[in-house]
Structure 1
């Protein structure tokens, strides 16, 4: 892989041990994927912030880089932690986990990263424009950036995203290249299954596409999802099938700019039996201790549309920045007197739910239903929002 003189200096250690480690990671990836070289990035988004996903080793790795004086070169945001950093005690999070999570956040802040602690950086200021090259981890953010914004990023892991953040570079391969962004399979869903503004049907559709066409570039025909539905559908695809890019004719920017990108040979339909198969697979129980929405994190528009007929204990997970904006706009007032908590900095997938006294949760997100049993150790009731909160 070709390196510039400055990049060779970083790799040799002339620019310090932190940049040397970062370049070693990027060069190794570049060699694996046969990249011609490294390209500059517009921004980075780093995952592995929660101790549930990074572990003690991840914490030590990040603290070691910060201790060596590492500083981010590109605008960098970070994923959710395992706790709400302000309301952790009220929510019942373990103190030892809180202390470690604060150390993780402190290390990233020392390196200059913006601690948004959210999986939707594009809603909190890290919103790239069309064609910008990125190094983003967090699968749901990756597919949104590629598909809905028309930016370009591979599915980075936490170490590679951090390495790119420090150097401002990423290997030129995968979805950074035009030839890998062409649609590969056409999906024609039964539109009767996708009526209304609920995200649930699109979340199910996305999960089904990922399961049946993993790592593809699907082209969806006839659908006109709203932004929340686009977010939910992409998250479902990414969770079940590692999909990082989809196109919708006349909807997503790349398909509008070049309609030929949607020309594919293979096609498949999505019918009620497919819908039911996904729900049957993910829906484990009929009742839950706690309802959790906001996977990916809620937008202000979703909060505005959230029904106020909430009866049981409910978490609404959203970025802290948007929580403050919602308070300023008075969006939270309609929920006064309800058993609803606005939970920031974390989500139901990476929070220590069992340690907090919950053994089951109700979710309307296929991504949450996929990961919560594995990461949080809880049973899941997977259903539309209106059913969960009644």
Structure 2
């Protein structure tokens, strides 16, 4: 890789061992992917929850902080594994609480913002077109690339921390024009009607065209979807297909037309989505006649608009099974100020801050609370949580609320 004089000095340890480690790590990544140089990034976003890191990962972060590691650019943090206000009450172990507190302490010492959110793009760090980022959460990266027109690869936890310490990343993948061009065509014969439908679309496309380097081009829609709808689309694509980018014609800055999206290339394959196809995504998660053991809203975390919608649907009703709604601390404060939180809590909804359900030692929660059937409006959560021993049922937001209130899954 071609290094500037400053980069050579950083790699030589001119500002300490932590930055030298970061440069060594990034050089190894860059050489593996054939990068020719580094590119400067504006911000980093790190996934470092306690369940994933465990004791060795926590010690690694503490060692970096002890070595004097300090961020050069803004560094935000993805959701953690526990809501400190209710961890023990909902059946989590004290050990995960301790690990998360140590992670936060180490990261804050390095200069990170303890945001614990996967919707940083809706709250604290709104991306814009053409800028380079070092983001790590799948849903944040695909949103930044496809909706904002920013440029980022999926940066794993150590890679995102390294980028925060050096202010740069190797220039490969979705930092380059050639990797951002469309590869497959998805034609909409019928418009998705709500956020869950957009998640169902992501489920179908991801299953058909899995692979990090695929860039689906979605065309044919007549309505410009809202931010929470494209949020669900991107999260599902990243979950089912490992995609880091898509083009939504007329929305993605680089895809004002279908021709723009493909950049002169031809799609190697295509698929058509109609109402029956969208319904098939829901039907692939059959209820099997079971009553819900828990209903979960979130993944990605809920926005203020989504909490307002939930409050309207739950108003005057009472949940007959456990209901979790996950969001960020910033959004929860807004929901409390606007009265949405009071309405939801009165209905029996537990509002969780700084977490996503599948990160919350989900297997232990299932065992300790006798949870099996989980109903959710998130296509992404439905895809992931089965690996933790749950039977997921993916439905629209309205159907999930009805399932919680009636203790019965309809349809």
Q: TM-score, normalised by structure 1?
A: 0.93
Q: Give a deviation string over 1:229-282, Cα, whole Å, max 9, x none.
A: 100011110001111111122222222399522464342212455435533444
Contact persistence 1:287–1:362 (CA under 8 A): no
Report the Cα offset of residue 88 of structure 1. 2.1
Structure 2 equivalent of residue 36 of structure 1? 36
Q: Please give the alpha-carbon distance, in whole angstroms, between the structure 1 residues aligned to 2:122 and 2:165.
A: 23
Structure 2 equivalent of residue 366 of structure 1? 379
Q: Please give the alpha-carbon distance, in whole angstroms, between the structure 2 residues aligned to 1:352 and 1:26.
A: 30
Structure 2 equivalent of residue 225 of structure 1? 225
Q: Please give the alpha-carbon distance, in whole angstroms, between the structure 2 residues aligned to 1:190 and 1:62.
A: 49
- What is the DSSP-based 3-state SS (H/G/I as helix, E as strand, rest coil) of the residue aligned with 2:169? strand
Picking from 292, 296, 300, the partner of 1:296 is: 300
Q: Please give the alpha-carbon distance, in whole angstroms, between the structure 2 residues aligned to 1:331 and 1:130.
A: 33
Contact persistence 2:249–2:261 (CA under 8 A): no
Structure 1 equivalent of residue 358 of structure 2? 349
Q: Please give the alpha-carbon distance, in whole angstroms, between the structure 2 residues aligned to 1:225 and 1:257.
A: 16
- What is the DSSP-based 3-state SS (H/G/I as helix, E as strand, rest coil) of the residue aligned with 1:332? helix
Structure 2 equivalent of residue 170 of structure 1? 169
Q: Does 1:205 align with 2:201?
A: yes
Contact persistence 1:359–1:379 (CA under 8 A): no
Q: How does 1:192-341 map to 2 (within 5 A)?
A: 194-195=192-193, 198-214=194-210, 215=212, 216-223=214-221, 224-256=224-256, 260-262=260-262, 264-265=266-267, 266-272=269-275, 274-283=277-286, 286-306=290-310, 307-308=313-314, 309=317, 311-312=319-320, 313-341=322-350
Q: Please give the alpha-carbon distance, in whole angstroms, between the structure 2 residues aligned to 1:109 and 1:52.
A: 19
Q: Please give the alpha-carbon distance, in whole angstroms, between the structure 2 residues aligned to 1:261 and 1:354.
A: 41
Contact persistence 1:318–1:343 (CA under 8 A): yes
What is the alpha-carbon root mean square deviation over aligned residues?
1.9
Change (3 A) 1:358 1:45: farther
Q: TM-score, normalised by structure 2?
A: 0.89
Structure 2 equivalent of residue 387 of structure 1? 399
Q: Please give the alpha-carbon distance, in whole angstroms, between the structure 1 residues aligned to 2:386 and 2:133.
A: 31
Structure 1 equivalent of residue 64 of structure 2? 65
Contact persistence 2:189–2:220 (CA under 8 A): no
Q: Please give the alpha-carbon distance, in whole angstroms, between the structure 1 residues aligned to 2:189 and 2:149.
A: 26
- What is the DSSP-based 3-state SS (H/G/I as helix, E as strand, rest coil) of the residue aligned with 2:306? helix
Change (3 A) 1:14 1:201: same
Contact persistence 1:128–1:151 (CA under 8 A): yes
Stretch of structure 1 that moved more, 26-35 or 208-217: 208-217
Q: Please give the alpha-carbon distance, in whole angstroms, between the structure 1 residues aligned to 2:58 and 2:287.
A: 33
Report the Cα offset of residue 91 of structure 1. 2.7
Paired residues in the alignment total 385
Q: Please give the alpha-carbon distance, in whole angstroms, between the structure 2 residues aligned to 1:310 and 1:225.
A: 31
Q: Please give the alpha-carbon distance, in whole angstroms, between the structure 2 residues aligned to 1:87 and 1:257.
A: 48
